[in-house]
Amino acid sequence: EAQVTQNPRYLITVTGKKLTVTCSQNMNHEYMSWYRQDPGLGLRQIYYSMNVEVTDKGDVPEGYKVSRKEKRNFPLILESPSPNQTSLYFCASSPQTGVAYEQYFGPGTRLTVT
């Protein structure tokens, strides 16, 4: 089944403890992206990647890191999480870069930082 998977789905952690949220897609998509979704603020893009070893900042990159060493994986790294990073995170992939290609979203990761 073609899909985007994220792990873990739920995570509760403490301030300053490094964590990684994994994202993997099995559709051979070039483009991958991370978003956070907060009440009243909608979906905001954190980072995106147009291909292996190519990553760019989105709207809200502060406090996050990403890497794209393989086409299928795009992990999101929080080196020192803070409570304001408590949010619902989505990974997405798209067949190609450029205008108006469909984004395929993962099921989301709910992160709580205490």
Residue 97 in the binding site for other proteins (CB under 8 A): yes
Angle CA 36–37–41, to nearest 5: 115
Least distance to other proteins from the beta carbon of 101, Å? Answer: 8
User: How far, CA to CA in Å, does 94 sit from each of 31, 35, 38, 76, 109?
Assistant: 5, 14, 23, 17, 19
The residue from 1, 53, 102, 114 that contacts other proteins (CB under 8 A) is 102
Choose the binding region for other proteins from 11-19, 20-28, 33-41, 72-80 (rule: CB under 8 A): 33-41
The Cα–Cα gap between 89 and 73 comes to 16
Name the segment binding other proteins (CB under 8 A); options: 12-20, 34-42, 64-72, 75-83: 34-42
Shortest approach of other proteins to residue 82 CB, angstroms?
Answer: 22
Q: Name the amino acid, one letter, at 72.
A: R
Q: Which residues are within 8 A (CB) of 62 and not within 5 positions of it... i.e. 6 or more apart?
A: none
Name the site residues for other proteins (rule: CB under 8 A): 4, 31, 33, 35, 40-45, 48, 50, 56, 58-59, 90, 92, 97-100, 102-103, 105-108
